[in-house]
Amino acid sequence: MDSAQRGSSGIRSGSLAPYAASPANSRGRRHPEPSPRYRSEFQRDRDRIIHSTGFRRLEYKTQVFVNHEGDLYRTRLTHSLEVAQIARSVARALGLNEDLTEAIALAHDLGHTPFGHAGQEALNACMAEAGGFEHNLQSLRVVDELESQYAEFPGLNLTFETREGILKHCSPQRARELGELGQRFLTGSQPSLEAQITNLADEVAYNNHDVDDGLRAGLIDLDQLRSVELFDMHHREVSHRHPELADRRSIHETTRRMIDYLVTDLIETSHARIEAAAPDSIDRVRGVSEPLIAFSTEVGARNRDLKRFLGSALYRHYRVHRMTTKARRVVRELFEAFTGEPRLLPPEHHAAARAAEKVLGHRGRLRTVADYVAGMTDRYAITEHERLFDPRKRS
């Protein structure tokens, strides 16, 4: 590669590396289709995701806070857009496929339940006798089966590479059921670099933006955050350079610098790891024993320290715990009501439950109800719960 294609750090800019995912070498779609005329295969994936029902619902599904608690907190939609922005920046710097990276980022949360992790925990418990519930697998189920828009196939019929990136983890039993898509979980091989990027971009986005939302909500404060090295080092620098800055701007400037610090380290460390491994194709990337996209040891430790802090100070805060307790109860009671009496379901979902039960027995009914509940937004779940359990509400 000539020097015009590299920046001062030796990192690629503006060209596709030989180990990047290429539409020309895609493993294809589950249902064959003619190639798009004016888009790449990965652009088509991204566009289908953006136009999907599941993507629109993300606007009213939350991370930590329930949707009605305020308009300024992150939702799954804004989070997905933030992940896509970070992931594309890393992909571009490393000469990887931005369109594929963006498609994975935009789809990675499509299977999330209402009320964030509280909803998932409740639905997983409800589904214990039918294999459990995991949002990552549900995201794949959404794009493979549940979206219903196209005449010639169920789901969105995405490429193998996008589906591979959506599936971040998987049990051996489920991996065997997924065939080629699940093989890497049985053999210990890696997904594409684009998928690896999105996985870490997701972590960067939610850690740093939960800091912002937690401060805005008054659940954590600056004194607590100063015990976290990653926050403190950047907040001290902002305070030194801009001592008169208002609190909100100071916090935004601090989180902005934290993200830049993490992303810069991720790019430079990953570049060095790729250079050392010297893969000449995406197949070589998949054959490497460890992910090539990674933080340095020092920065990775600081990032984990921030994650531990959020786990203890924010996610276990008593106000969050109160809301998650209510959220789990709503999800559990909805699930139990619909599985106990499927005629309570809207007609199309009732028909789907009956059809699934004929093929899979009681597990089919449970899975269909889980699909319906998981697809709800926060406010729809609350409204549906009121309709079922409050006699004063219209059905």
DSSP label at 60? G
Q: How far is Cα 219 from Cα 69, in angstroms, rounded to an integer? A: 13
With b meaning 16 or more CB within 10 Å and e meaning fewer, what string describes 272-289? bbbeeeebeebeebbeee
**Cα–Cα distance, 395 to 392 (Å, whole number):** 9
Q: What is the DSSP string of 276-328?
A: HH---SHHHHHHSSS-S----HHHHHHHHHHHHHIIIIITT-HHHHHHHHHHH
| Rounded Cα gap, residues 330 and 122, in angstroms | 9
Q: Quick one: which of 91, 276, 320 has its CA closest to 328?
A: 320
Quick check: helix, strand or coil at residue 209?
helix
Residue 182 to residue 187: CA distance in whole angstroms: 9
Domains and CATH numbers, the chain: 37-319 (1.10.3210.10), 320-389 (no CATH)
pLDDT by 10s per residue, the chain, length 395: 333 344 434 455 458 999 999 999 899 999 999 999 999 999 999 999 999 999 999 999 887 655 445 455 788 999 999 999 999 999 999 999 999 999 999 999 999 999 988 999 999 999 999 999 999 999 999 999 999 999 999 999 999 999 999 999 888 988 999 999 999 999 999 999 999 999 999 999 999 999 988 998 889 999 999 999 999 999 999 999 999 989 889 999 999 999 999 999 999 999 999 999 999 999 999 999 899 999 999 999 999 999 999 999 998 899 888 988 999 999 999 999 999 999 999 999 999 999 999 999 999 999 999 999 999 999 999 999 999 998 877 77
From CA 262, how far away is CA 10, in angstroms rounded?
A: 18
